[in-house]
Structure 1
């Protein structure tokens, strides 16, 4: 394999930038990833503790509302406080979007930013209810980002015990049918919930074609019944809600003790993470995301083999991806909207985004992202965003990209660069001669920049 620094930054990073030199080697990419998270330090985002504090506040307001029944003045004040809390959540979500874009613009570790988004999408979770509704960024910051270069099993455990995931898949309401809590429960419809168990196997580990059946899902759901969370402490394991064991999942027996133990569930997660089907599923997902909708089978197998050999050490899997010849071939994937906007801002060297003004954030980013087909932190379901190129190149989505490229850059950067210089900044030596000619012949800077950003060469990774 011949290392191409420009292609590395485009395909595996956040795009080329006139302010940052690309990594000189694969080893440098991996060294940056395994080192300090400098972008997170420079552009910090709230962690899950802030989200849980907001939920505690919301729970207290709900308690006050119940107690104030009949007191119109007090109820009005509480309604105003709840509205303010919801507004603060929406503002925080916009702030986190701004910080995410700032990281993509200013980082020297673009592979980390891409991986954070990939794994956040792999473990899609969206909060339900007013307090957790806008908390996806905090969840990714706390449960996923610290584990990007570690063991997959550790990331899996962090995600499965994250309050946002438990809230999203209704796990906190799951009760073992034979548990102590079930005998006391009077709420209609309360009982075993299989959502988390099913997604854990189908999406997060073994894959939709994995070696499991409905019995495994039900048994796993019983094993997970102790998982819950509180506003004050976050994750908790509730033995009284857990189904008395043992449970058998994929032929392995777990539990049987009284009361149920968290260690049994953690052992199950370790085993799922180590399963060969998980290695294959994750290897293919990474190859599809970074290389092609139809990745070379030899690349996928090499990554899966390295996963199995190392017990799921992600840094070793990434090294295999980055050093395999097949990863550097082909035309690359179409950039999803978040990557398109992020790489555009990076190539423009935009430095100050209007994070304090929700209307501008809506006009410049959240509105365009929605029209391009990727509303910020709002995929259609737990399977996250699609990977196929065809999902991003519909007529409406392409029109939205062109409109953004033509109207927004000049409002964010001040005077636009000469299109000829910008072409070099955005694509380096990978710009085709036809695009160089078009940049030279552009009527003006606005039109030239838009032409480059909307070109097939820039639209692909």
Structure 2
């Protein structure tokens, strides 16, 4: 039972080809070793995408007066759009090929925590490369490094309008413009301390002034703009940062301090426990994770280890609803279907993967806001969401060749977690396709 829970609760599901992780140690080992899958299933780099997006903009402007530019625009528009769908394909292939999947799940979790949505400008079909560069390499390191990597990445700066933030009394501020508090507010309210974490509006304002140097150049590269920086020291949570000479290291210093603040430890320990264990996690689990965070200065692997060592991590009741991305990945993994996506045309990827995710309520790379995706089961187990899942299951089963015997498939998909009603449905189905579909649609498969 424990190995099955390890694969489903902390990984990307059971596999017909790979054994589930034996225990908590095997789950943790998944993120402590090298990240081989990132190289095997690469996502195009941020800078490469930015160059294409800039050319997209140039050709979009030129197409009205130049037939050749119009044709070139259509080609590059396809390339930009194809990259968005291919990022989803690579995500699914990684989820299917990984021995465990804890690294994949953590990447999805932290990408939701540091949410950035697909949008105009630099964010046009480019959020996947932000996840791969800013989030994935740091999911098992220190939270301070993860925080600095995500918050200062050009994608986050563009998403929260930080590039337009100008210190009112700066050299640049004398010519107009103003302070933007978006990034500062989300850093305190969402990324670190949390609501009720002990900060006030004056801390938001002072942090926003400290962040004014962060910007993006035309190549989509982060830059520090000294003439945008609000002069003087800033006081954030009663601690002084900066001074007469604008310095990029002052921003690192405040993020380092926020990463180890007790309120951050409690907020993010609770959020991790809610994501992996239960919508209302046991208080003693959150306390234990918080204590580890404080003791280790936010060493994420140690915090995960504390979570995995707690009895609540291995309760047999499936208390969490699988979010659509998690559900689709698990279904593709257990049916051995993910690798077929590599050769499919983009039109089919869009129709069979990207569009169904949106219909289930989780459009690819488009979280509803800076606070990411909701955790509670009620957000996902809805009439519309369930109908979309059932439609997608029917399409997936029609794609299988051969269709497995549902009497064996129920054990492959759920192991000892399969209840008597699901086992009966698998045995009594009128044909193989119906039986496999019933297993994938079962309450047990929809939860973890």
- TM superposition score normalised by structure 2: 0.96
Q: 1:319 aligns with which of 305, 327, 343?
A: 305
**1:403 matched residue in structure 2:** 391
Contact 2:169 2:230 in 1 (8 A): yes
Give the whole-Å Cα distance in 2 for the aligned partners of 1:131 and 1:277: 33
Q: 1:273 aligns with which of 253, 259, 266?
A: 259
Give the whole-Å Cα distance in 1 for the aligned partners of 2:223 and 2:65: 37
Q: CA deviation at 1:256?
A: 1.2
| More displaced stretch, 124-133 vs 34-43 | 124-133
Distance 1:436 1:130, change over 3 A: same
Q: 2:247 aligns with which of 261, 274, 277?
A: 261
Give the whole-Å Cα distance in 2 for the aligned partners of 1:247 and 1:141: 33
Spell out, residue by residue over 1:40-65, the C-alpha distance to the aligned partner (whole angstroms, 9 max, x if none): 12211112222232244346558xx5
Superposed counterparts of 1:341-420, under 5 Å: 341-350=328-337, 351-353=339-341, 356-411=344-399, 413-420=400-407
Unaligned runs of 5+ in 1: none
Q: CA deviation at 1:257?
A: 2.1
Spell out, residue by residue over 1:234-277, the C-alpha distance to the aligned partner (whole angstroms, 9 max, x if none): 1111110010021101101111122x111111100000101000
**2:34 matched residue in structure 1:** 36
SS in structure 2 of the partner of residue 45 of structure 1: coil
Does 1:214 find its partner at 2:201? yes
**1:223 matched residue in structure 2:** 210
Over the residues paired in the alignment, what is the CA RMSD in angstroms?
1.7
Q: CA deviation at 1:120?
A: 0.4
Q: How many equivalent residue pairs?
A: 446
Does 1:73 find its partner at 2:59? no
Contact 1:105 1:346 in 2 (8 A): yes
**1:6 matched residue in structure 2:** 4
SS in structure 2 of the partner of residue 353 of structure 1: helix
Give the whole-Å Cα distance in 2 for the aligned partners of 1:125 and 1:368: 21
Does 1:141 find its partner at 2:132? yes
Contact 1:86 1:131 in 2 (8 A): no
Q: CA deviation at 1:29?
A: 1.9
Q: CA deviation at 1:395?
A: 0.7
Spell out, residue by residue over 1:373-405, the C-alpha distance to the aligned partner (whole angstroms, 9 max, x if none): 111111111111110100011111111111111
Does 1:102 find its partner at 2:93? yes
**1:150 matched residue in structure 2:** 141
**1:250 matched residue in structure 2:** 237
Give the whole-Å Cα distance in 2 for the aligned partners of 1:414 and 1:369: 23
SS in structure 2 of the partner of residue 456 of structure 1: coil
- TM superposition score normalised by structure 1: 0.93
SS in structure 1 of the partner of residue 295 of structure 2: helix
